[in-house]
Amino acid sequence: MIRLETDRLIIRDHIEEDIVDLHKLLSDSKVMYYLQDLKTNSIEESKLNLRVSINESNSDSREKYFLAITDKKTDEYIGEIGVTKLLNSKFGNKFELGYFILEKYWGNGIVTESSRALLDYCFNELDAMKIITGCNKDNLGSEKIMKKLDMVKEAEFIKHVVLHGKICDCVEYRMLQEEWEKHSG
Ligand SMILES: CC(C)(COP(=O)(O)OP(=O)(O)OC[C@H]1O[C@@H](n2cnc3c(N)ncnc32)[C@H](O)[C@@H]1OP(=O)(O)O)[C@@H](O)C(=O)NCCC(=O)NCCS
C-alpha cells in the first residue's frame, strides 16, 4: 500500500470508501473539462474506475498508480494524482503523470506539492528513468505545475487533439532521473 506524506497532504492508494468523493470529482464537468476520456456520467462508471485502481494497487505487476490526495489534518478528500507505466526496460521505467482535484482546492499549490512527492517516489522506489506529462496548451494552470517542478519542455504538438469541437495544441514535459537528482540534491 502506498502512503506518501507531505507538509499538508497524505497521498495514498484508494479504498472502497472513496467512491462518493471520487464520483463527485470524476463527474464534475468543470474539473474534467480537459480530461474528457476520464469523465464519468454515472456512479457505476466511477465504481469501475475505483475497482481498476484498487485491483492495480493489489497487483504484483502494477502498472497504474492512481492515488487519492487527502488533507493531512482533516482527512478530507481533495483529488487525484497518478502515474501510469508506459515503458519497462533494463534502462529503467518510463511513467506518465496525471492530476485533477476538486475546484475548491485549486490555486493553493496542492498539485505541485503532491507531484513532488510522487516524482520522488517514482525515482526512488519504482526505478523510474523518465517521467512525462502534458496538457492542452490552453490549460495554463496545468502547464504552470510542470514549470514549477522544473520539468523540461520536450514537445509542442500543433493541431493535436479535438476538444469540445475545437482543434487544440498540446505541450509535453519531461523529468529524467538524473535531472531530478540534480534538482532535489
Ligand atoms: C490544473 C490543476 C491540477 C492545478 O492544481 P493546483 O493545485 O491548483 O495547482 P498549483 O496551485 O500547484 O499550481 C498551479 C499554478 O498555476 C496557476 N494558475 C492556475 N490557473 C491559471 C490560469 N488560468 N492562468 C495562469 N496561471 C494559472 C496558479 O496560480 C499556480 O501558480 P502559482 O503557484 O505561481 O500561483 C487544477 O486546477 C485542476 O484540477 N484542474 C482541472 C483538471 C486538469 O486540468 N488537470 C490537468 C489535466 S492535464
Q: Where exactly are the structural domains of the chain?
A: 3-184
Q: Give the Cα separation of 135 and 145 in Å (integer).
A: 11
Angle at 57 between CA 56 and CA 63, to 5 degrees: 50
- Three-class SS state of 29: coil
Q: At what angle do helices 43-57 and 19-26 cross, to 10 degrees?
A: 120
What pTM value is reported for the model? Answer: 0.97
Nearest CA to ligand 1 atom 33: 109
CATH number of this structure's domain 3-184, picked from the four choices 3.30.565.10, 3.40.630.30, 3.10.20.740, 3.30.310.50: 3.40.630.30
Grid coordinates representing 144 are 504552470
Alpha-carbon dihedral sign for residues 154, 155, 161, 163: positive
> 3-5 and 92-101: which strand pairing?
unpaired
| Residue 19, pLDDT score | 98
Q: Which residues, 6 or more positions from 95, have their beta carbon under 8 angstroms from its beta carbon?
A: 83, 84, 85, 86, 122, 126, 128, 130, 131, 132
Report the run of H or E that residue 20 belongs to, with start and end.
Answer: helix 19-26
| Residue 183, pLDDT score | 82
Query: Is the C-beta atom of 57 inside 6 A of ligand 1?
Result: no
Nearest CA to ligand 1 atom 12: 109
Report the run of H or E that residue 53 belongs to, with start and end.
Answer: helix 43-57
Chain centre to alpha carbon of residue 26: 13
Per-residue pLDDT tens listing for the chain (185 residues): 999 999 999 999 999 999 999 999 999 999 999 999 999 999 999 999 999 999 999 999 999 999 999 999 999 999 999 999 999 999 999 999 999 999 999 999 999 999 999 999 999 999 999 999 999 999 999 999 999 999 999 999 999 999 999 999 999 999 999 999 998 76
How far does the centroid of ligand 1 lie from the alpha carbon of residue 89, in Å? 32
